[in-house]
Structure 1
Amino acid sequence: MTLLCLLNRGGAARGLRSTSYASSTICCGRHNINLNPTPTAARGSQLRLNFTNTYLRYCATASQPLHTMGSVDKPSLTGIDLPIIKLDTTLTELFRRASPQNASTRLGMVFCGVNSGVDLNPDFPRNTKYLYQDSPFNTVPRKELTRKNHDLRKSLAMKYLSLIPQRDAFIAGPSPVIMFNMNQSPATVAHDREEATTTLSVLDPSQRPNLVFCPGPSKIPMKEYGIDKITYKIVADGLESYPLTHSLETHWILNSKAGLARSGLPTPRCDIISVKGYPPASPRSCCDACRADKRSNDLTFIPESCSGPSGQWVKTESAKVLSAISSRPVPFVLKNQQVFGGAGTWVVTTQEQKDDLLSDFSSPDGPLRKLLSQVTPENHHMDPAAVVISDMVSNPIGDYGLTFFVNEDGEPVFLATSEQMTDGNNAWVGSTIVYSRQEALYERFQVLMSRTAEFVAKHGYVGPVGIDVLETGTEGETETHCGERTKFHVVDLNVRTSGSLALPLLKGHFTQRGLDCASSFGITVKGGREEFVRKWRREFEEGRMFVLSWYEDREEGASIADVVVGAENEEGLQGMIERVREGSEEVIF
């Protein structure tokens, strides 16, 4: 099926691993949520957000939800009684507590993904200033990155404009959540709304977001819905004209790989291979080869046959990057500057893998030439085409994902610490959190979490953050402070909502049912939502399974989804995950 093939295209370069995110797992225990947290010590310590059923209700400010917003009613599945889900807290509450002076600000939340390789639809063009190298950008041949590739555009729009936004809307709370339609046909507009509202209908009415559907980022109805500011997950070019909670450029840099390397946080030793300047001539004025290529493709591209100054610039800058890769002994990790969905990371452990990587990066249609072709006078100062080559952390004994919320004073609100799982190719496949270990893990990572929160807060960011940390048995050198030695190495910094952020907020829902573990993961299945729910009717009615996001491609007769499952223990959880996956395939984000 086209849908399944496109969703499962990996980001690897000839067998090299380009990281993908497919699932996350959490095990719940004895923590309680204190929704009015206080510092456990002086500034620099953690604010603790524990997990209970206590819920502080905040009324939406400004105008009341208009009738044209998404109507979220209880789902109507004949003969199936789905329980109402009550979150322990929501993003709306976390934002209000994070900045008391802005507690009355009505935030509109944008959770969509973006793409720099192809327009998602006519109203959501590709990013050309704030570049992202997701899997399609890195791996899909340039000739397929075109408006005429309807299958690719549809598959990306389903994930970026519906599946991912639904997942974050689930935990947004009573705030306006801006959703963008797949396209503007009446049938699609209605289907987009139906899928999102059905997903959110299982939430307690006091925690349901107000859905605002519009064609694209340039057409957000701010005044109509009384929205004061926009907060967002991923930088989209079209958001530049709105009042925002934080700078687009700053946010892009905070999430960049070079930004992490320069952060002062304890990261593996690395080299940043920067690109100087930008192509000196536009495709229209460079040479005949550029003009001919521009007429036949949507993606700006400087072809290998270019005989003008832009071709020479690409040749010079490519040689710099390829030389750095060639001279680096294995093992090492290569990362694109800015990625989304886990793409753009190559783990190179053998000389053969290194040779394959060099071959791919030097190819006429490879990710390096595609990326260099997108550097412009407007974005070159952010160094979007830089690559980062880092040491591989030796003999890690723990792989953790820390999730927390950063307040405006730089204090973090601890949400969860997950222990991450990888497959045989070192690709991330999930996370497990055991709440009986949370106290110890909190104490172990509170200093690192505070350092990270202070770093992002200094750049004006307030909101959710996730960091991936590798722990080693002995202290090793990092890039920080001229060789800081530590057991904890930050390998990724995600200044945004994470795919697993819903899980800490669902603790009360699961533990009330005697379920100590839970997991969320992406799947593709044949058929629609109702068939899936009926297949797992018992689990749905018991509250041990529910849909976090769902989108059915009726033309293909298949759906993509995020589901959440719960179990009494880790063994039971893994068994349930395996049973669900037996009849589905993983979604590669």
Structure 2
Amino acid sequence: MKSEMISSTGPAANVALPQITLDTTLSELYRKFSPLDGGQSVAYLFYVPISSMDITTDFPRNRKYIYQETTFNNLSQEAPSRETDKALHIDILKYLHGLSQRETFLAGDAPVISFYSSSSKARAEHDRHQLARTLDTLDPHQRPNIIFCSGPKAIPLKENGIDILSYKFVLDGIADYPLRFDLDKHWYLNSKEALATSGLPTPKCEVIHLDGCMPHAKTCCNICKDIYDGFVPSTCTGIRGEWLHKSVQNVVSRMAQRPLPFVVKNTQAYAGAGTYVTKSEEERTQLIENFSTRLLPILFSHVTPENQHLKPGTILLTDCVEDYIGNFSISFFVALDGSATFLSVTDQVQDSQAWMANIITYSQQPALEQKTTPLMREIAKWLHGQGYSGPAGADVMETAATQPQPQHINVNGNLANGNLLNGTLTNGHHPNTNLSNGTLPPNGHTNPQPQPTPSAQPTSYIIDLNIRSTASFSLALLRTHFTSRGLDCASSFAITTGATRDEFLMTWKEDFEAGRIVVLNWYEEFGGFEGEGRERGWRGRRRRRGGEEG
């Protein structure tokens, strides 16, 4: 099997899409700032891990490297019904194809791995066609070479003369390949605990470690010897139930004692999942109930002897950043020598459960680069000390200088160091867009306030670190595409639509032809679950008047 340039029959006949040329690509950044010794060839893998269920027979769920993403946190302790399983499978399938396709668009002229959604020839052809339609708009010199295969354990690196696999997220099935970075280390660097113990400026935090791991079902009561996929049934009368009860109470008792307001975080999640803000006693009661009866039993049931050393059951209680005057995301690239290359600063928008959008104002980037460079260099220095080079991002909040910046964490009691967002067509004038106002706060923090006076010295808090390419990565790479069209603001966001791709292109024909909307990923359902259902569009990442993906 060889890598190939895929092609399609093209877009809708009556929509003339402009060619997209990126300012740079992910593979170009790696070649320039983090080259491999001896000119080794690299293939890129962008699939996200799912710990809730198997995607296909050849793409099983993550069991070792647990990510508490939205589908995992919404699991039931009981075996799912066929209808529930069907809906979850379709959602996961769409999400996987969508995110990986977006990153593939930004990869550049390099081999990229793409998984088929099933062994069906018709479905495989559908997968190829969906990806080809998206990549058709790219400059041919920036199109990736796609390598299709069935799943993580079937990646044909040697057959394609590839020396190294570079990945965005840790998948259980890639452990046997030659990798750019150690899996355990990468998983840890992306954990909330890594940030809390890094020494970087971040809100005061209590880290609660899990004692041990879930005992095996065979060592427990008769009820546990015939259960669904490791979950501890509520009727358990043995050591598993006892261990689970003790472990859950250790966490919720800390939540009950924590002064309000505070934020609860799972140690490993993505797309805004696994973060819970608590501002009132009523919210505290609801959160404790949710954690006691569902979230913690599900999470702790997945902590095993194989992954115990990673501490996936860690829970963090952090101070809530109140009365903040700014919130934004920094995207940059860490070079082999530890230096950092600025890519962008964007405003991040998310609801209480997940990421929604990023917004960029291109005319503000020089000033924002100057402002954020000291913090960016501090993060890059820490990552360099961990042996990492590559893309990275940080979500940051600012408070007025009167609020002291905490420097310590508490580890188990011991001190230790709905609406679519659109860009703006400026027509020669720049909108007064400010990265501190007018958007939903990220990561459960509250109360945005007006900007301080120029003489104020705000305090920066890193709320989250993403040691990978971020959701705002595309906005930096499309700068010239939009600014050359008089567009100073752009947004990157996702939508779900009942329209097909062609129908959607025709609906927004004028914006597409003018280059004001760019589709970075689009995947239409094919036959639903096990051949059922109908084909319809979903998550067509789109730019609307300077906006970008969906």
SS in 2 for 1:433: strand
Counterpart code for 1:273: I
Compute the displacement of 1:434 (Å). 2.0
User: Partner residue of 2:431?
Assistant: none
Counterpart code for 1:419: D
* 2:100 aligned with 1:159: no
Q: Distance in 2 between matches of 1:315 and 1:422?
A: 33
SS in 2 for 1:203: coil
SS in 2 for 1:153: helix
Compute the displacement of 1:566 (Å). 5.6
Q: Distance in 2 between matches of 1:422 and 1:168?
A: 20
Counterpart code for 1:438: Q
Compute the displacement of 1:345 (Å). 0.5
Check the 8 A contact 2:244/2:297 in 1, yes or no: yes
Check the 8 A contact 1:74/1:201 in 2, yes or no: no
SS in 2 for 1:89: coil
Compute the displacement of 1:154 (Å). 2.2
Match of 1:558 among 513, 536, 542: 536
* 2:252 aligned with 1:322: yes
Match of 1:358 among 269, 285, 288: 288
CA-to-aligned-CA distance 1:405-456 (integer Å, 9 cap, x gap): 1111111110001133456x69754333223322222122111101111112
Q: Distance in 2 between matches of 1:242 and 1:284?
A: 33
User: Partner residue of 1:539?
Assistant: 511
- Bigger CA drift: 464-473 or 132-141? 132-141
CA pair 157-479 structure 1, distance change in 2 beyond 3 A: farther
Compute the displacement of 1:475 (Å). 4.7
Identity of aligned residues (%): 40
User: Partner residue of 1:229?
Assistant: 164
User: Partner residue of 2:444?
Assistant: none
Check the 8 A contact 1:289/1:305 in 2, yes or no: yes
Compute the displacement of 1:553 (Å). 1.1
Match of 1:456 among 359, 376, 383: 383
CA pair 450-308 structure 1, distance change in 2 beyond 3 A: same
Match of 2:393 among 449, 461, 466: 466
SS in 1 for 2:89: helix
CA-to-aligned-CA distance 1:70-110 (integer Å, 9 cap, x gap): 51357242132211110010011100011245372211111
SS in 1 for 2:122: helix
CA-to-aligned-CA distance 1:281-300 (integer Å, 9 cap, x gap): 3113322111122xxx2x32
Compute the displacement of 1:520 (Å). 1.8
Q: Which has the higher contact order (CA 8 A, sep 6+)?
A: 1
User: Partner residue of 2:216?
Assistant: 282
SS in 1 for 2:138: coil
SS in 2 for 1:396: coil
Alignment of 1:306-455 (within 5 A): 306-363=236-293, 366-421=294-349, 429-455=356-382
Check the 8 A contact 2:523/2:540 in 1, yes or no: no
SS in 2 for 1:552: coil
SS in 1 for 2:401: strand
Q: Distance in 1 between matches of 2:211 and 2:101?
A: 39
Alignment of 1:473-484 (within 5 A): 473-480=400-407
Q: Distance in 1 between matches of 2:540 and 2:473?
A: 13
User: Partner residue of 1:17?
Assistant: none
SS in 2 for 1:480: coil
Compute the displacement of 1:239 (Å). 1.0
Structure 2 unaligned residues grouped into runs of 5+: 410-415, 418-456, 527-532
Counterpart code for 2:492: S
CA pair 274-412 structure 1, distance change in 2 beyond 3 A: same
CA-to-aligned-CA distance 1:358-383 (integer Å, 9 cap, x gap): 111111xx010011111111111111
Q: Distance in 1 between matches of 2:360 and 2:90?
A: 34
SS in 2 for 1:417: strand
Check the 8 A contact 2:195/2:202 in 1, yes or no: yes
Q: Distance in 2 between matches of 1:241 and 1:486?
A: 46
Compute the displacement of 1:138 (Å). 1.0
Q: Distance in 1 between matches of 2:402 and 2:408?
A: 15
Check the 8 A contact 1:518/1:564 in 2, yes or no: no
CA-to-aligned-CA distance 1:325-351 (integer Å, 9 cap, x gap): 111121100001111221110011111
Q: Distance in 1 between matches of 2:10 and 2:330?
A: 34
Q: Distance in 2 between matches of 1:453 and 1:150?
A: 43
- Higher strand proportion (structure 1 or 2): 1
Check the 8 A contact 1:70/1:193 in 2, yes or no: no
CA-to-aligned-CA distance 1:111-144 (integer Å, 9 cap, x gap): 1111111111111111111111111111232335
SS in 2 for 1:488: strand
SS in 2 for 1:474: coil
CA pair 452-491 structure 1, distance change in 2 beyond 3 A: same
Q: TM-score, normalised to structure 2's length?
A: 0.86
Counterpart code for 2:538: I
Alignment of 1:296-311 (within 5 A): 297=228, 299-311=229-241
Counterpart code for 1:503: L
Q: Distance in 2 between matches of 1:357 and 1:103?
A: 53
- Across the two proteins, how many residue pairs are aligned to each other? 498
Counterpart code for 1:330: L
User: Partner residue of 2:127?
Assistant: 192
Compute the displacement of 1:166 (Å). 0.6
CA-to-aligned-CA distance 1:375-404 (integer Å, 9 cap, x gap): 111111111101000000121110110000
Check the 8 A contact 1:478/1:486 in 2, yes or no: no
Alignment of 1:64-79 (within 5 A): 69-72=4-7, 75-79=10-14
Check the 8 A contact 2:356/2:494 in 1, yes or no: no
CA-atom RMSD in angstroms:
2.3
CA-to-aligned-CA distance 1:487-515 (integer Å, 9 cap, x gap): 00000101111122111101111122222
Alignment of 1:15-94 (within 5 A): 69-72=4-7, 75-94=10-29
